[in-house]
Amino acid sequence: MIRTPRTPSLVVALLPILAVAGFLVLGIRVLGADAHLPLILGSVVAAVTGKALGFKWKSLQEGMVRGISVGLPSVLILLAIGLLIGAWQVSGVVPLMVFHGLRLLAPEVFLVACCLICGVVSLATGSSWTTAGTIGVALIGVAEGLGVSSAMTAGAVVSGSYFGDKLSPLSDTTNLAAAVAEVPLFQHIRYMLWTTVPSMLIALVAYAILGVSSGDQSSFGEISILLDAIERNYQLSPLLWLAPLSVVVCLFFRVPALGAILAGGLAGMIFALTIQKVPAGEVVSVLQSGHAPETGLARLDELLAGGGLESMYWTIGLILCALSFGGLMEATGMLRVIVEAILRAATTRGRLVLATLSSALGINLVAADQYLSIILPGRMYGAAYARAGLDPRSLSRCLEDGGTVTSPLIPWNTCGATMLGALKVGPHLFAPYAFFNLLCPLVSALLALTGWTMRRRPVVDPGEEA
């Protein structure tokens, strides 16, 4: 007789969540460990709980594999970003960007400029990851040269990157949210302006205020030293701008992000061999292990070091551990039980929106993937929005406000880990300064509670429908 696995109760479903939260606090705060082992221990608790519910070990393992498979495209992009950063460092592309950034940007306007630049690039390309992994890398270098906080800079980069990603018709998450909620793409984008534009304007004001007090005004002499050292050690040919331009052109013509990043990395390799005259063996070593320049100036060496495949291994390991846990939670039905419990409490329109936002955030925390944070609530809450008489655009907007923009704020989420891999600043440091990402869910919740912009579902004439 085949034994059917039992549906977990809410208490049972919460056990692995509480366990992994406790392990993370104990491991990171008390023992000073990384998040990898706490997440593995949480997976053990989830697997044992699943076994107690009647699931076979084989099905539990398959759930972990399915969870990991969701993140494999992210892993490939991370590896490509590692290659691109190494290639752009050794080829002089990043030194060129840092050089002109140090000359043109003052500390007072730097954070605002960071947010706006990344917003424009991400809006044009539809990719927050590519923006952070290219322009963001250079801006972090400029920030270090100007004496501006790397955490603040990373927060501004993430804010701008996700502003553009959220509104771009080229963005995969924008298209996914519209498709899941069955809303025409440009209607979805226009409806998001109600939460996106106010959040961005407030964020820019906050960055302007921070800019007044950020930066070391006594560092201008050191900036001159940095500029001289960059000029001595790198050929700053205008042709180097073709590398970032190649990425933008590829994304504009709808080349997938992985292909665009690899194209940019290939351009960097070519420029390293031709413009910088770096030996082929050294270029290969940089692509594997990262750039370790010897310019004679310690601060510049530290600023321009990094990249390579190996720089991404820690981040990829974190993603795999988190996705394994998320896969187990989904395969055993525990994640669905938690989401359904939240849905039962959503008895008003305002609570329904709050439930959607909190569910998307919770799935980002538990399943560690922004796509799941859009797909699962989108599928589960669609009927509830229809019963409440809410326009499906309200659902599609909430999926982005709660799912897309919160994903980079979580260290073990694929997006948070990618930001760490590209910017070398963890979400635990930049999250307080990622004002746009913090404000979007709050503005969305405020609009829901006041009822402003919450449109009712259009009524279809039965005769016209027939």
pLDDT band, very low/low/confident/very high, at 463 (cuts 50, 70, 90): very low
Q: For 226-264, what is the HEC assignment? A: HHHHHHHHCCCCHHHHHHHHHHHHHHHCCCCHHHHHHHH
The verdict on 259 and 115 lying in the same domain is yes
- Indicate whether 349 and 446 sit together in one domain: yes
6 within some domain: no
Asked whether residue 104 falls in the same domain as residue 128, the answer is yes
The answer, yes or no, to whether residue 351 has pLDDT greater than 90, is no
Same domain, 325 and 252: no
In terms of domains, do 134 and 274 share one?
Answer: yes
Claim: this prediction has a pTM higher than 0.75: yes
Q: Is residue 456 part of a domain?
A: no
**pLDDT of residue 342 exceeding 90:** no
- The answer to whether 185 touches 174, Cβ cutoff 8 Å, is yes
Q: Mark whether 56 and 81 lie in a shared domain.
A: no
Q: Which residues lie closer than 8 Å to 91 by C-beta, 6 or more apart? A: 240, 243, 268, 269, 270, 271, 272, 275, 276, 278
Burial, 58: exposed, middle or buried (Cβ in 10 Å; 0-12, 13-18, 19+)? exposed
Same domain, 256 and 159: yes
What is the extent of the structural domain holding 228? Answer: 73-312
Residues forming a β-bridge with 390: 456
Query: For residue 259, is it within any domain?
Result: yes
**Is 459 contained in some domain?**
no
- Among 287, 312, 337, identify where a domain stops: 312
Q: Kindly state whether residues 290 and 352 are assigned to the same domain.
A: no
Q: Which of 272, 296, 312 is the last residue of a domain?
A: 312
> Does residue 182 share a domain with residue 91?
yes
Q: How many domains does the chain have?
A: 2
How far is C-alpha 97 from the geometric centre of its chain's CA atoms?
23
Question: In this predicted model, what pLDDT tens digit does every residue of 242-287 receive, in sequence order?
Answer: 998 998 888 778 788 888 889 999 999 999 999 999 999 999 999 9
> Residue 330 falls within a domain, yes or no?
yes
Same-domain status, 327 and 344: yes
Helix (H, G, I), strand (E, B) or coil at 291: strand
* Res 31 pLDDT > 90: no
112 and 130 in a common domain: yes
**Is residue 49 assigned to a domain?**
yes
* Cβ 293 vs Cβ 11: under 8 Å: no
For residue 466, what pLDDT is reported? 33
Is residue 421 assigned to a domain?
yes
**Residue 3 placed within a domain:** no
| pLDDT tens-digit readout, 426-443 | 999 999 999 999 999 999
Q: Is there a single domain that holds both residue 383 and residue 322?
A: yes
Task: Choose one of 312, 332, 349: the last residue of a domain.
Answer: 312
